[in-house]
Amino acid sequence: MKPLAKNENAVSVNLGGPLAHYNKSVVPLPFTAIMYGRGISNSTTAFASVHATAMLFGNFQTDIGVCQSIYKQDSLGFGLTVNPAINMVYDKWNKNFRAWPQLDVNIYKDILKRKAFVYVGLTNWFELSAKRAHGERQPYHALINPHIGMTYNTKKWAYTLECKFLEMNRKNQPNVVDYVGIKGRGAVGIYLNFARRF
């Protein structure tokens, strides 16, 4: 959500996923990702990630991009960032490759004497393919995911809790997974992120 300082590095682990009904309970699907970022300047951070859960199922998934500060007001502890990225998946079983351009837009506000910040934004994936699985027509070309979260920082660590409304513009039934959505659309997702700066 915020760029790193110039030449600063960070490694993070992200845990969580969309909420689903399972065995009379509601649980987040256990998606995991490992990310590395480096501050190119004080306003630009390059990052790349590997999605560990996807690898367990034969899919190599990564996203590569930048976090770019667009506006920053230090006196108010307020800022705007954008994260253009490309999300790519290679399915080793079917020898299939897919890619989705992604653009995140975030507004953040420092709180707790700048030890933490809250943020709100949109994650936008763009579907370029005219067909989806089994040759079906692809009706959705913009996957819109609003989110809200909070990050707490110590000297070297950052802890983030985030809630997303995944694919808010899509009906979630019928589906193999019984997602917890809002008024029959999308899925609510809960995520934890642990980052170490060095």
Name the DSSP letter for residue 170. E
The CA distance from 92 to 15, in Å, is 24
The CA distance from 34 to 49, in Å, is 5
The confidence score (pLDDT) of residue 102 equals 96
The confidence score (pLDDT) of residue 70 equals 98
Task: Note whether residue 4 is domain-resident.
Answer: no
- 28 is written with which tokens? 């987040």
Domain containing residue 83: 9-197
The confidence score (pLDDT) of residue 174 equals 79
Task: Look at residue 134 and give its three-state secondary structure.
Answer: helix
pLDDT tens, per residue, the chain with 198 residues: 899 999 999 999 999 999 999 888 999 899 999 999 999 999 999 999 999 999 999 999 999 999 999 999 999 999 999 999 999 999 999 898 999 999 999 999 999 999 999 999 999 989 888 877 777 888 778 888 999 999 999 999 999 999 999 988 788 887 778 899 998 889 999 999 999 999
Task: Note whether residue 140 is domain-resident.
Answer: yes
Domain count for the chain, please give it: 1
The confidence score (pLDDT) of residue 15 equals 97
The confidence score (pLDDT) of residue 85 equals 98
Q: Is the peptide bond before 101 cis (omega within 30 degrees of 0)?
A: no
Task: Note whether residue 1 is domain-resident.
Answer: no
Task: Note whether residue 121 is domain-resident.
Answer: yes
- 38 is written with which tokens? 């480096």
Task: Note whether residue 3 is domain-resident.
Answer: no
The confidence score (pLDDT) of residue 167 equals 86
Task: Note whether residue 2 is domain-resident.
Answer: no
The confidence score (pLDDT) of residue 129 equals 83
The confidence score (pLDDT) of residue 50 equals 97
The confidence score (pLDDT) of residue 121 equals 98
121: CATH = 2.40.160.40
The confidence score (pLDDT) of residue 79 equals 98
Of 40, 38, 61, 66, nearest in space to 49 by CA: 61
Task: Note whether residue 129 is domain-resident.
Answer: yes
The CA distance from 154 to 159, in Å, is 9
- 65 is written with which tokens? 């991009």
Task: Look at residue 110 and give its three-state secondary structure.
Answer: strand
Task: Note whether residue 17 is domain-resident.
Answer: yes
